[in-house]
Amino acid sequence: MKNKNMPTLSQALKINFKAWRILFKEYPHILFSNVLVSIWSALSPYVGIFLAARVIDELSSGKDSKTVIWLVAVTLVAEAVIALLTALLKKYKETQSAGLYYKVENIYTKKLLNTDFATVDDPATQELLTTIRQNRNGGGWGIYRMLYDVELLVGALFSTVGGISLTVTLFTQSVPQSAGDFTVLNNPLFLIAIIVAMVIITCAAPLLDSKAQGYYAKLAGTLNLGNRLHSHFLYVCADKRYAEDTRVYRQYVYCEKYGNDKTSTFGTKGVFSKYSKGPVGILCALSAAISVVFTLIVYVFVCLKAWAGAFGIGAVTQYISAVTKLSDSFSNILRTFGAMKNNAPFLRLELDFLELPDKLKSGEECIEKVADDEYRIEFVNVSFKYPGTDMYALKNVNIKFGNGRRLAVVGKNGSGKTTFIKLLCRLYDPTEGTILLNGRDIKEYDIKEYGRVFSVVFQDFALFAMPLGENVATSAVYDRNKAVRCLEEAGFGERLKSWEDGLDTMLYKVLSEKGVEISGGEAQKIALARALYKDAPVVVLDEPTAALDPIAESEIYENFNKIVKNKTAIYISHRLSSCRFCDDIAVFEGGQVVQQGTHEELLEDTDGQYSELWNAQAQYYNERNS
């Protein structure tokens, strides 16, 4: 963090309070338990200090032994009750704070799940979230630090109040006039000088400490980069996804330098080592030394007043303990203000993320049910640029489809096919032009209801470490017969029969040792079954057979009409043989629809893109068969 990003104390407190409200809204018991324990821990020690002083006073004055016994008994009972309540409160706090890492992650996840895809997919959003996580994992900055600061601040404030209540009489009790030269301790100017000295030293220690911590805040970017390098290069060899490559190409030798380089971020000659040996170490040492000077002043002042007869030996114990604790508490207040100020820029990043506005605005219109699910979709002069680029991914696309027909979308890599699907599903809005559903701009429809129109199998689909049936239905409660039927239609029937637990078979071994590792082709069939289970009127298949073997692919093609039934289907593929069962074919090139027609019509145009692609693939298979 740079200095120009450092807010004032007032701004920092507002940022911290805003973050506090966010955490309180999601997990009120975490903050309540932390604050409660902090208050109790701040005030309870003063009970022991006060009672111990009374016991010592009674012993030193030689008064009634019964009073001493009674005071000792009260002290023991009080300490026992305090210890018991302290243990219970700390257990309450530990229970509520358990899994704090995942609870903070849950706040981020909720934001991602309730934010439109266009915002989530924006590289700036992903970079912001990555930076937030690195700040947290590397330096403990952000909401993590805020929770600790709140706990420390509340405790320090209450401890200060308790300390003042047991310290005020130190300055009001006078030395008797018979004390001779010691009566100077009663002089108001002397008392003011002592108090000023104590306040200056009390303030100096935390300010020096906050200054030292400020260096680490400024180095957060360097720390994050160092963590990235170490995380990537030092753990890559342990990742089974790269195990073959790291061994075949001896990549672990290349990675070793990041663990042995003494000039790296965390090396003995790195930047953090230099700061620790330099300004940070000096400031921390000065802070500790000043604290010792304060202790010296307190001991001298209290002992002189006791020596002069202002109070008894029991009060010495009380005042030294109370004043020292008061100083620590006041120092912690200042130290916490400094920590909050250092932490504010990191909290501001989290608030920026949590307050990201949606780029897509939902309409309010409902989608009327139409006969036989005959939905008509039309792209009218649609153009689109991805955020952060001036290049068109789609340019002036005009196309109509629907009414239960099958549309194949083909083209080379980067021609705009997947972008076309993202706009169709309203994951993005067009930069220019309009998309119509049954003659109405899709922006007018409720965005969630519009999403129910489509069942989609994306290229980068995701299955989860959950039971097979729940993956198909995307729900813990589902129609088991329907799930089986969809799996059979997707070509997964035989594999399902071979599993002892059937639909209850856990996918992957992430959460269960009995989990089943599936191949890419099997995963693709399950994803297809999931699309069928949703039973939406428009089915979109983006390379649905890319990971299938030729036989399985042929089965999908042969049963495609049976699988899709009377629904509108959009099929994207590099394998043009799949286009033969489609009613219409749209050929994309450079983000534009350059050809459209049936398979036979497009082949007749021998100079067209489709004919070129078809012949290139056909020639390859002919050569293989010759």
Residue 394: strand, helix, or coil: strand
pLDDT grade, residue 257 (50/70/90)? low
Residue 289: strand, helix, or coil: helix
pLDDT grade, residue 353 (50/70/90)? very high
Are residues 346 and 404 both part of a single domain?
A: no
Across the range 483-487, mean pLDDT stands at: 93
Question: What is the pLDDT at residue 151?
Answer: 87
Residue 400's H or E segment, with its range, is strand 392-402
Return the percentage of the chain with pLDDT > 70, whole number: 88
Lowest mean pLDDT among 194-198, 267-271, 359-363, 450-454: 267-271
Are residues 346 and 241 both part of a single domain?
A: yes
Number of domains in the chain: 2
pLDDT digits (tens, 9 = 90+) for 301-329: 888 888 888 877 777 777 788 778 877 88
Question: What is the pLDDT at residue 497?
Answer: 92
Question: What is the pLDDT at residue 259?
Answer: 63
Nearest to 16 by CA among 336, 333, 330: 336
Lowest mean pLDDT among 141-145, 171-175, 494-498: 171-175
Is 502 domain-assigned?
no
Are residues 373 and 300 both part of a single domain?
A: no
Are residues 302 and 446 both part of a single domain?
A: no
Residue predicted with more confidence, 171 or 373: 171
pLDDT > 80? residue 193: yes
Are residues 263 and 225 both part of a single domain?
A: yes
Domain around 419: 360-453+583-626
Across the range 29-40, mean pLDDT stands at: 89
pLDDT digits (tens, 9 = 90+) for 364-387: 888 776 665 678 899 999 999 988
Residue 260: strand, helix, or coil: helix
Is 58 domain-assigned?
no
Alpha-carbon separation of residue 156 from 86, 89, 337, 614 (angstroms): 17, 18, 11, 76
Question: What is the pLDDT at residue 2?
Answer: 45
Pick the last residue of a domain from 302, 331, 354.
354
Q: How far apart are the first and last CA of the chain?
A: 66
Is 497 domain-assigned?
no
Q: Residue 150: what residue type?
A: V
Are residues 315 and 403 both part of a single domain?
A: no
Pair type for strands 406-411 and 568-572: parallel
Q: Work out whether the CA dihedral 236, 237, 241, 245 comes out positive or negative.
A: positive
Q: CA-to-CA distance for 417 and 435, rounded, in angstroms?
A: 16
Name 470's Cβ contacts closer than 8 Å, sequence gap at least 6.
476, 478
Contact 542, 418 (CB under 8 A): yes
Residue predicted with more confidence, 602 or 619: 602
Question: What is the pLDDT at residue 625?
Answer: 46
Which range among 477-481, 516-520, 582-586 has the greatest average pLDDT? 477-481
Ramachandran category for residue 173: left, alpha or beta (phi over 0 → left; psi -120 to 50 → alpha): beta
Name 340's Cβ contacts closer than 8 Å, sequence gap at least 6.
9, 12, 13, 16, 146, 149, 153
Pick the last residue of a domain from 291, 322, 354.
354
Query: 492 is written with which tokens?
Result: 């997964």
Are residues 365 and 324 both part of a single domain?
A: no
pLDDT digits (tens, 9 = 90+) for 596-612: 998 888 888 888 888 88
Across the range 38-51, mean pLDDT stands at: 85
Contact 567, 538 (CB under 8 A): yes
Across the range 266-284, mean pLDDT stands at: 75
Nearest to 484 by CA among 456, 505, 453: 505
Are residues 323 and 389 both part of a single domain?
A: no
**Which DSSP letter does residue 453 get?**
T
Question: What is the pLDDT at residue 557?
Answer: 65
Is 71 domain-assigned?
no
Question: What is the pLDDT at residue 222?
Answer: 72
Q: Can you give the CATH number for the domain in which 440 is found?
A: 3.40.50.300
Are residues 142 and 190 both part of a single domain?
A: yes
pLDDT > 60? residue 622: no
* Per-position DSSP letters for 553-574, written without gaps between them: HHHHHHTHHHHHTTSEEEEE-S
Q: CA-to-CA distance for 474 and 464, rounded, in angstroms?
A: 10
Is 569 domain-assigned?
no
Return the percentage of the chain with pLDDT > 90, whole number: 22
Are residues 226 and 338 both part of a single domain?
A: yes
Are residues 418 and 284 both part of a single domain?
A: no
Crossing angle for the helix pair 220-235 and 251-260, to the nearest 10 degrees: 150
Are residues 341 and 366 both part of a single domain?
A: no
Name 354's Cβ contacts closer than 8 Å, sequence gap at least 6.
22, 107, 108, 111
Q: CA-to-CA distance for 594 and 611, rounded, in angstroms?
A: 12
Q: CA-to-CA distance for 217 and 2, rounded, in angstroms?
A: 9
pLDDT > 50? residue 27: yes
pLDDT grade, residue 624 (50/70/90)? very low
Nearest to 139 by CA among 70, 74, 192, 218: 218
pLDDT digits (tens, 9 = 90+) for 503-549: 999 999 888 888 898 888 888 889 989 999 998 889 898 876 666 66
Q: Residue 621: what residue type?
A: Y
Residue 248's φ and ψ, nearest 5 degrees, are: -65, -40
Question: What is the pLDDT at residue 91?
Answer: 92
Q: Can you give the CATH number for the domain in which 191 is found?
A: 1.20.1560
Beta pairing partners, 392: 385
Question: What is the pLDDT at residue 411?
Answer: 86
Is 61 domain-assigned?
no
pLDDT > 50? residue 131: yes
Residue predicted with more confidence, 485 or 402: 485
